[in-house]
Amino acid sequence: MVTLEAILQAHARLKGVALRTPLLPCPEDCHGSKVWLKAESFQPIGSFKIRGAYNCLASLPAAERAAGVIAYSSGNHAQGVACAARLLGIPAVIVMPHNAPAVKMAATRAYGAQVVLYDPLTEKREDVAARLMQGQSWVLVPPYNHEEVIAGQGTIGVEIYQDLPEVELVLVPVGGGGLISGVATALQNLKPGVRVIGVEPELADDARQSLRSGRIVEYTAAQTGRTIADGTRTLSVGDLTLAHMQHYVDDIITVSEASIRRAVRDLLLKHKLLIEPSGALAYAAWHSQRDALPAAKHVALVLSGGNIEPALLADILQSG
C-alpha cells in the first residue's frame, strides 16, 4: 500500500514539473455548500497524468532510464509518460488504441514518443506491450496499477488539503483507479473522516462493481467503448488500486451520458473551463446525483483533464 510519506516525497519531486493547480470557487448556487473545482486541465499536458508518470520515471535507476520505457494508454497517460520521458531524456514507446482521440495521439507524438497502434476490439493493450517488450530492456509504466504512479496522483489530495483544510467531501473521476487511490490515501491520512467518492459513467462502471463485490470485475472494450468519457474506458481496475479503494474510498457512483455532456457544456459556458468528458465526471455527479451524496458544507470536485477533441466539443455545444 502507498504511504503518505511516499506521496509527500512525490509532491517534492514534482515541484517545477507539475503545476500546483488552483482550487477555484464555484460561483453558482450549490444549495448551501461551498464547492471548489480542482482544475487539473491546467497541467502542462492538460491532465493530472503528468504527476504519476513523472514520479514513476524520476524514481527509476539510471540504468533503467537509459534502457527506455513503454506504456499503454488511451491518451492522457500516454502524454504524461511521453512528456516525462522527454524531460528526463528517456526513450519512450507508447501503445495506443487506433480510436484514441486524435488530439491526444498527436500530442504524444509531439513529445517525441514512438506510438504503436492496436485494435482494442481484437487485442488487449497489455498483450501488445508484452509482445513489443520481447528482446528489449524497456521498463513498463502502467497507467494506474503502480505504487509510484498512485503516489504521484496522490499529490492532488495533498494540495486539496493544504488549500482547503476544512474539506469534508471530495469527488474524483474513476477509470483504472490510480487517481482516486492516490487522492483518497493522501486525504484520509491527512484528515481522517473526510469522505472520498468516485464517479464513473453508467456505461463503464467496472470500478463500482469491483468495489461493491470485493473482486475485480472486467468489462469488454465494446462495453466501455460506449461511453463518451474515453479516459474511463479501462477494462478493469488493478489489484493494487482495488486494495486502496477498499481501504480509503467511501463509495463510487455513476452518471449518465447526458449528464456528462451537460457538465462539459456548463463548465465551459459557466466557468470558462475546457474540460474533457472524463474530467467532468465529478461536476456531473454533483449536479445530477446530489441526493446520493453525503451532506457536506465544503466540497472539492477534481476536474482531471481538458484534452477534448474539437469535433466532440462542437457536437456537445451544438446538441445543447
Give the pLDDT confidence of 224-245 residue by residue, as tens digits. 999 999 999 999 999 999 999 9
In this prediction, residue 291 has a pLDDT band, given cuts at 50, 70 and 90, of: confident
Alpha helices in 115-205 (DSSP H): 125-133, 147-163, 178-190
3-state DSSP assignment of residue 90: coil
Q: Which three cell numbers stand for residue 77?
A: 497517460
Distance between CA atoms of residues 228 and 83, nearest Å? 25
With CA atoms as reference, report the closest residue to 238 among 173, 153, 178: 178
191 a catalytic residue: no
Residue bearing cell 471548489: 36
Neighbours of 140 (CB within 10 A): 13
pTM for the model stands at 0.95
Specify the pLDDT at position 29: 63
**Active-site annotation holder among 38, 49, 236, 288:** 49
Give pLDDT tens digits for 7-39: 999 999 999 999 999 999 998 767 789 999 999
Q: Which helix (H) or strand (E) holds 295?
A: none
**Domains observed in the chain:** 4-47+146-319 (3.40.50.1100), 50-140 (3.40.50.1100)
Distance between CA atoms of residues 110 and 148, nearest Å? 25
49 a catalytic residue: yes
Give pLDDT tens digits for 203-215: 999 999 999 999 9
> Rounded to the nearest 5 degrees, what angle is found at the Cα of 122, between the Cα atoms of 204 and 181?
35
Q: Which three cell numbers stand for residue 302?
A: 477534481
